[in-house]
């Protein structure tokens, strides 16, 4: 359906905003629609358009809701400055 090069993947993206005590955090949920990926959905915390580089905080799942819930569970007790440490 989509003409992609080998090893390329195309994702549909939806963004959720999470208002926390220490500011606004976005969660970007990506759904694979073409190509190959280990999971169908990923939910990645994002701050100011920059994704969290620490994969242990990424939610994964077989549905959008499942990946989002997994991500929220992983980051619930983690302060934003731990998810996005200031540059050295």
Structure tokens at 35: 């190509």
Give the alpha-carbon dihedral of 27, 8, 36, 48, to 10 degrees.
-10
pLDDT of residue 66: 98
Q: Is the residue at 67 inside a domain?
A: yes
Q: Is the residue at 54 inside a domain?
A: yes
pLDDT of residue 67: 98
pTM, two decimal places: 0.90
pLDDT of residue 22: 84
Domain residues for the domain of 68 are 10-78
Q: Is the residue at 87 inside a domain?
A: no
Q: Is the residue at 65 inside a domain?
A: yes
Number of domains in the chain: 1
Closest CA relative to residue 47, chosen from 86, 13, 12 = 86
Q: What tens digit of pLDDT does each residue of 17-68 get?
A: 999 998 899 999 999 999 988 999 999 999 999 999 999 999 999 999 999 9
pLDDT of residue 68: 98
Q: Is the residue at 86 inside a domain?
A: no
């Amino acid at each position: 359906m989509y003409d992609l090069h080998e090893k390329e993947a195309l994702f549909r993206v939806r963004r959720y905003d999470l208002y926390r005590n220490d500011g606004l955090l976005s969660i970007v949920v990506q759904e694979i629609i073409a190509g190959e990926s280990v999971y169908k959905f990923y939910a990645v915390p994002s701050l100011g358009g920059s994704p969290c580089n620490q994969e242990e905080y990424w939610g994964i799942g077989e549905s959008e809701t499942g990946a989002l819930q997994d991500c929220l569970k992983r980051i619930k007790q983690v302060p934003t400055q731990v998810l996005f440490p200031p540059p050295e």
